[in-house]
Structure 1
Amino acid sequence: MLIATWNVNSIRTRISQVEAFLSEVNPDLLCLQETKVEDASFPTKIFEDKDYHLSFFGQKAYNGVALISKSPLKDVRFGMSGELSNNPEAQYLDEQKRVISTLLNGVRIINVYVPNGSSLTSDKYEYKLQWLNCLKNYLDCQSERDEPICLLGDFNIALEDKDIHNPNRLSGGIMASEPERKALRKLLGERLEDIFRIFEQGTNHWSWWDYRSGAWDRDRGWRIDHIYLSKELINHSKSCVIHKKSRGNIKPSDHAPVLVEIDWPSQESNEEPDFFL
């Protein structure tokens, strides 16, 4: 199965680009972030007319996550409360629409849009750290069902210095501070691995280029869009790539899609994945 993640920075602004991407790449599931639209106004018809299945969790002008799938979506869960029911902190954090999950071939796909944090002195930075801590609790709760997991999305964190075009200047600042990195490593634990780094260890692989300062033209980017897999999926993974050319579109999102291909048997097949053996 081919799974993609993409911060589109407004689904209505980028609708034709999403259509083109689906046509060209043909993923089984496309996970979107920063859709910036209320659920009632999501452009469902254009996808449903092409037999896609949709689920979304959005709000006006900000945030928002969505799933666009070739097959019916199963056990869709919305927000932090999708796992942490009756948790006041999760309910508070869900006022910003940033998490949606589903089952695809028995794999739990969790699509997240982590807060940016603004600056190290901002209240939004403390909110980001709180949000990441709650995401850890969310994942701990999910782990009790022993589902294989694919955690993906816009994390707004460069986990390593090689994920930044100029670490000497930018490491330690927002999206690259040690508290952010520590919080991300903590929620990943020993369970989840960065699948892109299984296939590519070097630097100069970016998924986000700021609209300002000619970052795209100078290729001064960050790798902040990640796909993390649980160990039972790692050996079934065939590739993980950044679809960089999407950032070169006319009026593009500032992010490029990231894709992972996993050779995972369909639930309808008689083949069993290794972790059942």
Structure 2
Amino acid sequence: MKIATYNVNGINGRLPVLLRWLAEAQPDIVCLQELKCPQEKFPIEEINGAGYQAIWKGQKSWNGVAILSKGYEIKEVQNSLPGDPDDVQSRYIEAIINQTVICCLYLPNGNPYPGEKFEYKLSWIKRFKRRTNQLIKMELPAILIGDFNIIPTEKDVHKPEKWEDDALFRTEVRKAYKDLEKKGWLDSIRKIYPDETVYTFWDYMYKSYERNAGIRLDHILLSPYLSPKLSKAGVDEHVRGWEKSSDHAPVWIELKK
């Protein structure tokens, strides 16, 4: 089973890129972030035409998350992160597919640091950790997947010294990511590529993609139940080079049956 995540950075504006990649990569399950469209504007007909069912939660102009599935039924569990009924940002959707809990997330960016946006990011992370702890205690096959807006370590960023006061690389958020790993969540990419330079995002400015001046923000974390089934993982970096592509590249794993 091939499972992928892709921050599309505007699903309607970049729909040709998404459909091209789906046809090429043929993932079974896909988590999308930054839809940037209201609920009723999600291109469900085109997604169905590509062979996928979908659940989604849109938001006008900003945010938005979706889960796509080809060949497996999607049972939605919840479409918001528990713990704050006043939080209206569309950043989390959870489903059960093929007896696996899929937690698709678009974690807040948090910039500028310091400030209210960074505090919101930290509070969101606390709520998220509560949910991930529940999944660990239940010993379920589960996947945390999406744009975490966290650069886990220095080897996940080009010139880390320039990022010390960025909300993506602050000590607090890197510790939160490390805490997930300590609880048993496996970083799929680092399991397969422990020492290699792997990026998933390249800014549109300064020829970042051409210079490979990137960062790793998009992650797929596996619960202990699923970790032994990991067989392959990768980043479709070439998609970032397509015309009118997102500034993120798709990230994927393959699980043994």
TM > 0.5 fold call: yes
Contact 2:136 2:223 in 1 (8 A): no
Counterparts of 1:185 and 1:202 in 2: how far apart (Å)?
Answer: 17
Give 1:68-217 correspondences, 5 Å limit.
68-70=68-70, 71-81=72-82, 87=83, 89=84, 91-93=85-87, 95-217=88-210
Matched, 1:234 2:235: no
Amino acid at match of 1:73: I
Contact 1:107 1:147 in 2 (8 A): yes
Counterparts of 1:50 and 1:13 in 2: how far apart (Å)?
Answer: 17
Counterparts of 2:141 and 2:102 in 1: how far apart (Å)?
Answer: 9
Larger Rg: 1
Partner residue, 1:21: 21
Matched, 1:261 2:257: no
Give 1:242-257 correspondences, 5 Å limit.
242-257=235-250
Amino acid at match of 2:30: L
CA deviation map 1:61-114 (0-9, x unaligned)? 100000111122024421113xxxxx4x2x223x00000111122111111001
Q: Identity over the aligned pairs, expressed in percent?
A: 34
Counterparts of 2:196 and 2:27 in 1: how far apart (Å)?
Answer: 26
Contact 1:158 1:175 in 2 (8 A): yes
Task: Out of 37-46 and 200-209, give the one that drifted further.
Answer: 200-209
Please state how far the C-alpha of 1:119 moved relative to its aligned partner. 2.1
Please state how far the C-alpha of 1:203 moved relative to its aligned partner. 4.1
Amino acid at match of 1:80: L
Partner residue, 2:2: 2
Q: What TM-score, normalized to structure 1?
A: 0.88
Q: What TM-score, normalized to structure 2?
A: 0.95
Amino acid at match of 1:92: D
Q: How many residues align?
A: 256
Counterparts of 1:188 and 1:117 in 2: how far apart (Å)?
Answer: 21
Amino acid at match of 1:124: K
Please state how far the C-alpha of 1:186 moved relative to its aligned partner. 2.6
CA RMSD of aligned residues (A): 1.5
CA deviation map 1:18-62 (0-9, x unaligned)? 111111111101110000111111111112234421100110010
Contact 1:163 1:205 in 2 (8 A): yes
CA deviation map 1:220-269 (0-9, x unaligned)? 000111110012212211111011011001011000000000013xxxxx
- Change over 3 Å in CA distance of 1:30–1:258 after alignment to 2: same
Please state how far the C-alpha of 1:174 moved relative to its aligned partner. 2.4
Contact 1:208 1:224 in 2 (8 A): yes
Matched position secondary structure for 1:217: helix
Contact 1:172 1:178 in 2 (8 A): no
Partner residue, 2:49: 49
Q: Which runs of 5+ in 1 are unaligned?
A: 82-86, 265-277
Matched position secondary structure for 1:139: helix
Counterparts of 2:17 and 2:248 in 1: how far apart (Å)?
Answer: 12
Counterparts of 2:78 and 2:166 in 1: how far apart (Å)?
Answer: 33
Please state how far the C-alpha of 1:144 moved relative to its aligned partner. 4.6
Counterparts of 1:18 and 1:122 in 2: how far apart (Å)?
Answer: 34
Task: Out of 207-216 and 71-80, give the one that drifted further.
Answer: 71-80
Counterparts of 2:132 and 2:163 in 1: how far apart (Å)?
Answer: 29
Counterparts of 2:255 and 2:91 in 1: how far apart (Å)?
Answer: 25
Please state how far the C-alpha of 1:122 moved relative to its aligned partner. 2.3
CA deviation map 1:165-198 (0-9, x unaligned)? 1112224532111011112223443220101111
Partner residue, 1:273: none
Task: Out of 235-244 and 194-203, give the one that drifted further.
Answer: 194-203
Counterparts of 2:42 and 2:236 in 1: how far apart (Å)?
Answer: 24
Please state how far the C-alpha of 1:140 moved relative to its aligned partner. 2.4
